[in-house]
Amino acid sequence: MAEVLPIRLYGDPVLRKKARPVTDFSGIPRLAENMLETMFEAGGVGLAGPQVGEAKRIFVAALYQDLPEEEEERVPLKKRVKETFVMVNPRITFAEGEAVGTEGCLSLPGLYSDDVPRKFRVRLEYQDEYGNPKVLEAEDYLARIVQHELDHLEGILFFDRLPPPLRKQFLEENRAELARMQKEAKAFLRELAR
């Protein structure tokens, strides 16, 4: 059975670390499975290694079937999966176009911005959980997800991508909530160290 892992919150230093390339794939299929389970449980579209305390260059993502709002309530997210992705050592080899859109993050629960700039289309080279080389060409929503997750591997959070005045505004508007998360992240780390 896959395990649901604790998701690291804003304020946890692992979220600001540059993740290390994966060279030993022995634990990776298991980690990927647990990350997918954790993402479904949290209702997310993507989750990167650092978000579960693993500073490794891996992320998972999923596309879900759209349902009418009243059905969305009843159907568990796992039952709506159209496609899942496990990407290890990903890198963008081509990008074009500009798009501004909405993003949130499982490490910043409840916080969103509608103004996050990304490339509209990207080509990604990566390895699957067994180390096999793969290529993905994505645009629009999926391209946004993979860019957001790739940023996590560099210690970058979505609000860092906002133009400076909007970034400042985001931090000011959410100051209390961010401080609360930082406090919770610290408490989690204290507990972990015991």
Binding residues among 103-142 for Ni ion as defined by CB under 5 A: 105
Report 80-109 residues binding Ni ion (CB under 5 A).
105
N-term to C-term CA, the chain: 27
- Closer CB to Ni ion, residue 31 or residue 105? 105
For residue 23, the one-letter residue type is T
Instruction: Give the separation between CA 3 and CA 20, rounded to whole angstroms.
Output: 23
Q: Which position among 98, 149, 177, 184 bears the catalytic label?
A: 149
Residue 32 near Ni ion by CB under 5 A: no
Active site residue 149: yes
In the complex, minimum distance from the CB of residue 161 to Ni ion, in angstroms, rounded to a whole number: 11
Smallest gap from Cβ 146 to Ni ion, in A, equals 12
DSSP code string of 107-157 = TSTT-EEEEEEEEEEEEEEEE-TTS-EEEEEEEHHHHHHHHHHHHHHTT--
Decide if 46 contacts 138 (C-beta within 8 A): no
Residues 42-71 that bind Ni ion (CB under 5 A): none
Question: By the criterion CB under 5 A, which residues form the site for Ni ion?
Answer: 105
* Catalytic (active-site) positions: 149
